[in-house]
């Protein structure tokens, strides 16, 4: 088995330990970490792929143990897949997913949001792109009001584009609902 949790025993040669925000340790096969550009870069920088280098646990302060479990499930399933290429299929209108992926991502929107953030933080392109496409498809055929509900968008238009009926102005400030702009995930603290 390439992944176990938790472990405190001496780190096996081809594994690294990552620690979730709630303190749980996960032993990760180095082969699996190749799918995460963040982890792969970290392993390369610290030469954790060498047997003579002491491997400290890697804290992942932005990822809970539940999210980490879910991500490991993804990494395991795609262990032998070819390296993800950011090509046109990402934008194809006929982009469909295998049954396993459909079932894997058959989760509530809020969990999907957390998983997308985790995939973005760990830079797992296949998972990240898949969630983006699935989220996009979840608004298909919905009205503006339904989309606002699904995506938690506070309206700033005066009239509903469907009905023309004035929309109740939201009392929150204009910054509310905005996130900090970050172009790449921060490197995990070592």
Partner 1 sequence: MEVSQPFPILKLPFVALWNVIKSMERKELIDLSFTSKRLVTIIKSIPIPNSDIEIGITNLQSSFFPQQNIQPLIMTEDLQERIKHLGGKFDFNESTGKEIIQFEYSKAFIDYICALYRSEIFAVQIDVRIPIPLLTSVLEWMNDRQPVLTSCLIYGDCKDNETIDRFFQKRILPIRQLHLNLKLSPEAKTFNFGILEMEEFTARHRDINTLNPIPNWITVETVLTSNCIIMCIGASPFTVTDLKRIIKGWINGNNPRMEYFHVEVKKFNLRSLLKGIEYEKRETTFERMYIPENKSYKIQRPVTKRTISGGYDIRRSDGTVATFQVLSRPQNPTALWKFVMVIWKKTVDS
In the complex, the residues that contact partner 1 under the rule CB under 8 A are 88, 90-91, 93, 106-113, 116-117, 120, 128-129, 132-133, 135-140, 142-144, 147-157, 159-164, 177-185
Q: Which helix (H) or strand (E) holds 40?
A: helix 37-45
**Nearer Cβ to partner 1 (6/162):** 162
Instruction: Say whether 59 sits in a helix, a strand or coil.
Output: strand
**Nearer Cβ to partner 1 (9/110):** 110
CB of 173 to partner 1, least distance (A): 13
**Nearer Cβ to partner 1 (31/138):** 138
* Residue 90 DSSP one-character state: G
CB of 69 to partner 1, least distance (A): 18
**Nearer Cβ to partner 1 (91/100):** 91
CB of 141 to partner 1, least distance (A): 8
CB of 155 to partner 1, least distance (A): 6
**Nearer Cβ to partner 1 (14/109):** 109
From residue 12, give the alpha-carbon distance in Å to each of 7, 17, 51, 53.
11, 10, 9, 12
* Residue 27 DSSP one-character state: E
CB of 119 to partner 1, least distance (A): 8
For residues 148 and 161, give the distance between their C-alpha atoms in angstroms, rounded to a whole number: 12
* Residue 84 DSSP one-character state: P
**Nearer Cβ to partner 1 (3/139):** 139
For 57, the token pair is 């646990």
- For the four alpha carbons of 81, 86, 87 and 88, in that order, the dihedral sign comes to positive
CB of 144 to partner 1, least distance (A): 4
- Please name the residue ranges forming H helices in 65-188: 65-77, 99-104, 109-122, 125-137, 144-151
């Amino acid at each position: 088995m390439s992944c176990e949790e938790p472990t405190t025993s001496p780190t096996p040669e081809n594994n690294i330990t990552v620690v979730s925000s709630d303190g749980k340790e996960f032993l990760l096969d180095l082969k699996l970490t190749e799918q995460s550009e963040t982890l792969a870069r970290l392993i390369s920088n610290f030469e954790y792929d060498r047997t003579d280098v002491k491997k400290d646990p890697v804290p992942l302060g932005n990822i809970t143990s539940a999210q980490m479990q879910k991500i490991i499930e993804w990494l395991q399933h795609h262990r032998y897949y070819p390296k993800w290429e950011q090509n046109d299929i990402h934008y194809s209108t006929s982009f469909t997913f295998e049954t396993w992926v459909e079932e894997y991502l058959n989760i509530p929107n809020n969990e999907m949001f957390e998983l997308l953030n985790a995939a973005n933080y760990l830079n797992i392109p296949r998972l990240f792109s898949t969630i983006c496409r699935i989220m996009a498809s979840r608004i298909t055929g919905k009205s503006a009001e339904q989309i606002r509900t699904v995506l938690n968008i506070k309206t700033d238009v005066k009239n509903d584009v469907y009905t023309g009926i004035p929309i109740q102005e939201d009392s929150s400030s204009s910054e509310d609902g905005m996130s900090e702009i970050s172009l790449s995930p921060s490197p995990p603290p070592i």
